[in-house]
């Protein structure tokens, strides 16, 4: 049983991670400022601390009190559009606050770190599927903030022996199959929850951003990965670090691309009704195709996604939306 601090454990992916580690018997502590997370998403059995990872004094007290075996970091701002408008917020929250956390870890001799990174570190794809060696040329402050932390982590390994795993998510989606946790962003910007909100009548329609991309049906293609599969990869990466593993980066997706139209059509089959869709202009900064090559996670970590069927991913997200609607 390991003692793990999960920063951002009240958010979408973090809350699924907390659940998974609590259920396997780890001792889990959650630090979250609830700026976008939800207290009721923190799985029972985890100890909750309300606060910010930018608060050096709070972190110092926490690390004085507990000898953590590892830290997992899910607390970040994640909206590309907002990052273009407010880069300062992104560099403070995603880079500076993370640096504060890393400093406190080093000062307390905690040297294992799992970091939520993103496909946005690659920028416009130069080839597809995207493997870990693909050039990193992020095209917005969000992607740059994550790439900066990845580089900081390499330097912290060399200088302080801090071992980290950077997990680069493609399109996280779905929800734990029991309908108890799910995606609850405010405002919601992600395709699958928006499509399902349109299906549930919570919003009038789903807007399809761009119809003239260089893809078969003209809409963007993405690689959707189930949040439970993402968390499985984190748990494996954590175990590898706990066993003395070296720093590593992993791209996480299913290796299958689905267009925006295919997602909407699959959702219509899952929910059994028409979902009103409206053509809208392209959204700035969207590459036409983003698909992961996840061979490294499979061969090095032994990761095997269980829910690689898009209909199942959407079904689980739908169960959650219905459970929320009461």
**Distance (Å, whole) CA 225 – CA 240:** 22
Least distance from ligand UDP to the Cβ atom of residue 264, Å: 9
The binder of ligand UDP chosen from 194, 227, 252, 317 (CB under 6 A): 194
Look up 142 and say whether it is catalytic. Answer: yes
Q: Taking CB under 6 A as the rule, which mask of x and - marks residues 197-236 in contact with ligand UDP? A: ---------xxxx----------x-x--------------
CB closer to ligand UDP, 59 vs 206: 206
CB closer to ligand UDP, 60 vs 215: 215
Name the DSSP letter for residue 178.
T
Tokens standing for residue 160 = 């302080």
Least distance from ligand UDP to the Cβ atom of residue 215, Å: 10
Which residue is catalytic, options 12, 90, 142, 224? 142
161-188 CB burial, b ≥16 within 10 A, e <16:
ebbbbbbbbbbbbbbbbebebbbbeeee
What is the greatest pairwise CA distance in the chain?
Answer: 57
Please, which of residues 36-75 interact with ligand UDP by CB under 6 A? none
The gap from C-alpha 26 to its chain's centroid, in whole angstroms, comes to 21
Least distance from ligand UDP to the Cβ atom of residue 193, Å: 8
Complete DSSP assignment for 226-238: EHHHHHHHHHHHH
The gap from C-alpha 209 to its chain's centroid, in whole angstroms, comes to 22
The binder of ligand UDP chosen from 60, 189, 256, 268 (CB under 6 A): 189
- Helix or strand or coil: residue 3? strand
**Distance (Å, whole) CA 288 – CA 292:** 14
Least distance from ligand UDP to the Cβ atom of residue 79, Å: 9
CB closer to ligand UDP, 92 vs 190: 190
Determine contact, residues 145/226, Cβ cutoff 8 Å.
no
Q: Is 260 one of the binding residues for ligand UDP (CB under 6 A)? A: yes
Residues annotated as catalytic are 142
Q: Which residues bind ligand UDP (CB under 6 A)?
A: 171, 189-191, 194, 206-209, 220, 222, 260, 283, 286
């Amino acid at each position: 049983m390991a003692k793990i601090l999960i920063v951002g454990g009240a958010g979408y992916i973090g809350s699924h991670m907390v659940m998974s580690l609590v259920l396997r018997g780890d001792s889990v502590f959650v630090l979250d400022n609830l700026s976008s997370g939800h207290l009721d998403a923190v799985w029972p059995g985890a100890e909750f601390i309300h606060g910010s990872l930018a608060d050096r004094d709070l972190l110092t007290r926490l690390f004085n009190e507990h000898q953590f075996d590892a830290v997992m970091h899910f607390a970040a701002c994640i909206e590309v559009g907002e990052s273009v408008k407010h880069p300062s917020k992104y560099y403070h929250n995603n880079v500076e606050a993370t640096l504060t956390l890393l400093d406190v870890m080093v000062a307390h001799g905690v040297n294992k770190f799992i970091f939520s990174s993103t496909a946005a570190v690659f920028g416009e794809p130069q080839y597809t599927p995207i493997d870990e060696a693909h050039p990193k040329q992020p095209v917005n402050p969000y992607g740059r903030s994550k790439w900066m932390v990845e580089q900081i982590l390499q330097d912290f390994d060399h200088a302080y022996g801090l071992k980290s795993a950077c997990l680069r998510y493609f399109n996280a989606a779905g929800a734990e199959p029991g309908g108890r946790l799910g995606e609850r962003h405010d405002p919601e910007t992600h395709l699958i929850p928006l499509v399902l909100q349109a299906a549930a009548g919570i919003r009038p329609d789903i807007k399809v951003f761009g119809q003239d991309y260089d893809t078969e049906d003209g809409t963007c293609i993405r690689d959707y990965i189930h949040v439970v599969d993402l968390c499985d990869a984190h748990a494996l990466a954590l175990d590898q670090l706990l066993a003395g593993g070296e720093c590593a980066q992993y791209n996480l997706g299913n290796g299958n691309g689905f267009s925006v139209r295919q997602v909407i059509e699959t959702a219509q089959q899952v929910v059994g009704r028409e979902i009103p869709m409206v053509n809208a202009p392209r959204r700035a900064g969207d590459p036409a195709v983003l698909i992961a090559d996840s061979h490294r996670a499979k061969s090095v970590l032994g990761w095997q996604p269980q829910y690689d069927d898009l209909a199942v991913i959407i079904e689980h997200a739908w169960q959650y939306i219905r459970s929320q609607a009461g």
